[in-house]
Amino acid sequence: FTFIFAATLNPVTPKCPVGDYENKDGICCNKCPAGFKLVAECHREGHRSNCTPCPARQFSDQINNAFQCRKCKTCRAARNEVEVSPCRAAQNTICGCKVDYYKNHIDSETFECLKCSRCKPDETVEHACTRERDTVCGCKENFYRVRNKCEPCRNCTTGCSQHCMLEVATEDPEPKHRLLINLVAGSAVVVLVLLA
C-alpha cells in the first residue's frame, strides 16, 4: 500500500527531452522531422539518429521515429473528388469535391462528395452551394415551410407572420350615407344653377 501511495505522489518524469524518444536499449535518440523517416537509431547518448526524406508518393506529417513513411492518399475521380493540394514529404494529398458537389463529412477525416441541391420553383437560394456545404434554400415571399415543403401563405399564422399584410378596409359606404351624400350634392348643383 505504501509503495503505491508513494508512486502516485512522485510522478515519473520522462527520461528523454522533448523531441527525443527512448530506444529499446534505454538511450535517448532524436526523432526525425516531418517529411523524414528513421533509417537507424542512435547507438549512444549524444549521437544522432539517421533520418532520410520520405520517398515519392509517401509522407510523414509530424516528428517521428518510424522506419516507414505513410502512403499518400489518391483522390477518387469516380467519387467526384479532385486534388486540391498534391502530396508532399510532410503533407498528405488534400482532396476536395469537383464543381457542383460538396463535402459531406462522415467523420473528422472521411467525407463523401454529394451533388449540390437545387432549390424548387417555390424556393429561393439563401446560400449557394460551395465545396464545403450544400445549397440552403428558403421559401419565396408569401410562402412558408411545412414538412420540408413551401406552402403559400393563406392566413396570418405563426408560420406566415413575416409575410402577413395589414388588411385595409375597402367596404363601400353604407347605403343610407350614400343617399345623404347624393342629396347634398344635388342641392348644391340646384343652388349653383339658380344663382347663375
Domain annotation covers residue 51: yes
d(CA 83, CA 81): 7
Question: Does one domain contain both 128 and 65?
Answer: no
Domain annotation covers residue 41: yes
Alpha helices in 18-115 (DSSP H): none
Largest CA distance in the chain: 132
**Stretch 51-56: mean pLDDT:** 98
Give the predicted TM-score (pTM) of the model.
0.62
* 115 vs 12, more confident: 115
Average pLDDT over the chain reads 85
Percent of the chain exceeding pLDDT 90 equals: 56
Domain annotation covers residue 37: yes
- What CATH number is associated with residue 55? 2.10.50.10
Domain annotation covers residue 109: no
Domain annotation covers residue 49: yes
**Stretch 131-156: mean pLDDT:** 89
Point out the domain boundary residue: 71, 95, 125.
Answer: 71
Q: Which domain holds residue 49?
A: 1-71
Domain annotation covers residue 174: no
The pLDDT, as a whole number, for residue 170 is 47
Grid-cell match 458537389, residue found: 101
- Burial (CB < 10 A; 0-12, 13-18, 19+), residue 88, is middle
Q: Return the SS3 of 2.
A: helix
Question: Does one domain contain both 121 and 66?
Answer: no
Q: Is the CB of residue 133 less than 8 Å from the CB of residue 127? A: yes
144 pLDDT above the threshold of 80: yes
Name which of 53-57, 149-153, 175-179 the model is least confident about: 175-179
d(CA 77, CA 85): 15
* 162 vs 66, more confident: 66
Question: Does one domain contain both 67 and 121?
Answer: no
Q: Please state the length of the chain.
A: 196
d(CA 51, CA 67): 9
Name which of 14-28, 72-86, 114-128 the model is least confident about: 14-28
| CA nearest to 35, candidates 56, 57, 59 | 59
CA angle 181, 184, 190 (to 5 degrees): 140
Split at pLDDT 50, 70, 90, the class of 57 is very high
Domain annotation covers residue 166: no
The pLDDT, as a whole number, for residue 91 is 98
What domain count does the chain have?
Answer: 2
Domain annotation covers residue 125: yes
